Amino acid sequence: MSKMSILGVRGDREKVIDALMRLGLTEIDESETELDQTRPDLDQAANLDMRARLVRAIGQLQDRFPTARQLASKKLTVTEEDFIFTPSEEEDIRQLVSRYESLIEEEESINHEISLLEQEMAQLVPWKRIPIDLTKKRTARTRLIFGTFMDAVSQETFEADALEDFPLTAVQLLEEVGIYPAKVVIVTLDEQLAHVRARLASCAFHELADLPFTGTARDSLLALEQKIESSQAGCQVIEEELKEIAGQCGRLMTYHDFLLVGYDRARAEEKAALTQYTFLLKVWVPEDQAEKTGSQLQWDFDVAWSYRAPLEDEEAPVKLKNNPLVRAFEVVLEMYGAPSSKETDPMPVMAPFYMILFGMMLSDVGYGAMLMAGTAYLLFKKKVEGGTRQMSMMLFISGISSVLWGFVFGGFFGDLITAVTDGRLNFPALWFNPMDSPVQLLIFSMVFGVIHLFFGLGIHIRNERLKGNLIGGLADSVTWYLIIPGLGLILGAGALSGQPATVELLKNIGQWMAIAGAAFGLIFAGHGIKNPFKRLIKGLGALYGITSYLSDILSYARVLALVLATSVIATVINMLGMLGGRSVFGYLLFALIGVFGHALNLALSALSAFVHSCRLQYVEMFGKFFVGGGSFWKPLRRSTDYVKIETDKKKALAVNKEMGEAS
């Protein structure tokens, strides 16, 4: 990275920053800039509010209408001309959004009204066969109460009380005797109404609500149905108008991103230092793009520019630069954090080890093939973009590794072939079957773990050399390059050879390697410390690190655990599938159990392989060299949520046509 200083005329500030956004090669250095407070915050607040309204409208339209939904699968490609909005076009879209919101409010109001009408109808339906005008609820001296007694006890109790306390109150059944709930009309004097209602409140009596009756219940139901039909017709008119707005969803999406780019540009403008006539902007730019960027700006604007390498105390943003295979695994590093700009990019080492570890942990031809098929669909059929594409590519490559390790360990959906053929056929293992030789896999996992850690120590040597401390890096690493293999030869010489003389020779070699490593650590661990006693203490402290190395090496036993877990679960699924016997029904049952069980096992095993492969990178290997504290390079560019800006108009039209055919 290089730091570039751009000095220009204040009036060109917005145009220069727009040009930088189009180039997408610079990140503004905020450490030396002061925010420009001349731009009112009201503009940005209005921008945020409008974008929020657009997001809400676009999401609702895409959920509701197929014409808008087909635009949600991937970014819409637009030309530079389509990405420009005049003030009148902006006003038209704002009015369109306002009209959409008012239609939604009107529709919600109508739907609420329909809901209330339907509730009224539900109350009237039980009274549909009662031929009484429900609007007549009073005479000159009396009041009528329509309602329902829920049981005979309540009715009889009320009638007895009324006969005793309200002799002028009458209860008239409106349906056949003995049918409950029983619909009745209660006639009472005006002055006794309050007392009658109080007595009814103590009974299981439901009074018919005071609805907008138009006569009998049947007549009222017909009137309510007409109101609902009228309201539904209003909803249909709104639906048609909303459908027309959905046809302009692409334009709404484009305008949202136009506002987003404008917002980012305004925020970037605030980071430029200003004088009365000029502005000064400091940016980080890749070293190989500095000349191109400066020349382009100078060609288009009256600017002066210069660039330099980062100073010793400056932390430049980090831009990883790897081949496509390694780049697919950068998502793993991004989840952990950015390395310092003054240390080595760990990706060329981390990517192959991650791929191998993931493949070892899953290690099944069938599961690996399923993982490849799923991610291939996302990559080549759905053509996902951004972080989803990077993650899919990483899992696709890891799936290839899983297939290869499946052949090595002889796994195809566990022991599927053995289970189906009743042991007559077996899926061959190119090396060995972990289910039969778990100790062999454990030893191999730990040896592989040592190799993994040694590569991490190698990166540490390089980082220290970049700092000018090569001896310190060698002291931290070479010590373990000698001690760990030496201890391995001492402990495992018998497994390497059956000849006593050879075993003794290997133990002697291991012993001298361990001694040499310890001596190297004691001598050089305190490099730069003049006091010999302090250097010795430093060396002894370094040698005590053997405990952490042993712990790290044992961590690779998780490879054995995950391989066995995947194989055992797959074997159990196959065993359960064959419980139906070797018949047509049995094989159908096997297919059902197998599809569900193996899909679930793949999901769990792939997730475990992903998590534990990350852990072995983050904790074991990164702990040997990773400094961190940096930040990933985030260039100033036209970031969009919904559209992709294409400078070639013909290409943009072709892409959109392809999207339409796919939809």
Reported as a single tens digit per residue, the pLDDT across 582-632 is 778 888 888 999 999 999 999 999 999 999 999 999 999 999 999 888 899
CA–CA dist 95, 103 (Å, integer)? 12
pLDDT tens digit sequence for 216-226: 889 999 999 99
pTM of the full predicted structure? 0.80
3-state secondary structure 381-432: HCCCCHHHHHHHHHHHHHHHHHHHHHHHHCCECCEHHHHHCCCCCCCCCCCC
- Tell me: pLDDT of 561 over 60: yes
CA–CA dist 605, 405 (Å, integer)? 14
Q: Determine the average pLDDT of the residues in 543-566.
A: 88
CA–CA dist 50, 257 (Å, integer)? 11
**Chain-centre distance of CA 12, in angstroms?**
40
176 token code pair? 């056949």
CA–CA dist 343, 469 (Å, integer)? 13
Instruction: Kindly list the distances between the CA atom of residue 53 and the CA atoms of 45, 58, 270, 530, 560, in Å, as whole numbers in the listed order.
Output: 12, 9, 25, 68, 53
Position of tokens 């993994």? 452
- What is the domain partition of the chain in residue ranges? 135-207, 324-438+557-624
- Confidence band, pLDDT 50/70/90 cuts, at residue 653: very low
368 token code pair? 């690996």
**Chain-centre distance of CA 501, in angstroms?**
60
pLDDT tens digit sequence for 312-321: 888 899 999 9
What pLDDT does 517 receive?
A: 85
Residue 628, Ramachandran bin (φ over 0: left; ψ between -120 and 50: alpha; else beta) = left
Indicate the pairing of strand 76-79 with strand 643-646: parallel
In this structure, are residues 134 and 216 in contact, taking their beta carbons and an 8 Å threshold? yes
Q: Give the E-state strand segments of 294-364 in sequence order.
A: 303-308
> Which residues are paired to 9 by β-bridges?
278
- Tell me: pLDDT of 40 over 80: no
110 token code pair? 């109508």
pLDDT tens digit sequence for 162-208: 888 888 888 888 888 878 888 899 999 988 888 888 888 888 999 88
The dihedral formed by the CA atoms of 130, 132, 137 and 138, expressed in degrees to the nearest 10? -140
- Confidence band, pLDDT 50/70/90 cuts, at residue 655: very low
- Tell me: pLDDT of 236 over 70: yes
Q: What is the mean pLDDT of the chain?
A: 88
32-41, 90-99, 469-478: segment of lowest average pLDDT: 32-41
- Confidence band, pLDDT 50/70/90 cuts, at residue 210: confident
b/e map of 575-595 (b: 16 or more CB within 10 Å)?
A: eebbebeeeeeebebbeebbe
Q: Comparing 138 with 260, which gets the higher pLDDT?
A: 260
- Confidence band, pLDDT 50/70/90 cuts, at residue 31: confident
- Secondary structure (DSSP) of 437-463: -HHHHHHHHHHHHHHHHHHHHHHHHHH
* Class of the CATH-defined domain 135-207: alpha beta
Q: Is 373 helix (H, G, I), strand (E, B) or coil?
A: helix
- Amino acid 196 reads V
b/e map of 161-187 (b: 16 or more CB within 10 Å)?
A: bbeeebeebebeeebeeeeebbbbbbe
Position of tokens 């609420």? 112
Instruction: Kindly list the distances between the CA atom of residue 662 and the CA atoms of 72, 78, 406, 652, in Å, as whole numbers in the listed order.
Output: 12, 18, 35, 15
pLDDT tens digit sequence for 120-162: 898 888 888 888 888 888 888 899 999 999 998 888 888 888 8
- Amino acid 478 reads V
For the chain, the farthest-separated pair of C-alpha atoms sits apart, in whole angstroms, at 126
pLDDT tens digit sequence for 389-418: 999 999 999 999 999 999 999 999 999 999
In this structure, are residues 100 and 242 in contact, taking their beta carbons and an 8 Å threshold? yes
Instruction: Kindly list the distances between the CA atom of residue 448 and the CA atoms of 133, 134, 455, 573, in Å, as whole numbers in the listed order.
Output: 91, 88, 11, 30
- Tell me: pLDDT of 12 over 50: yes
564 token code pair? 């066995």
The dihedral formed by the CA atoms of 526, 460, 633 and 387, expressed in degrees to the nearest 10? -140
Q: Comparing 309 with 528, which gets the higher pLDDT?
A: 309
**Chain-centre distance of CA 415, in angstroms?**
34
CA nearest 623: which of 557, 545, 561, 562? 545
Burial class (CB in 10 A: 0-12, 13-18, 19+), 452: buried
- Tell me: pLDDT of 372 over 70: yes
- Tell me: pLDDT of 5 over 70: yes
Q: Is 30 helix (H, G, I), strand (E, B) or coil?
A: coil
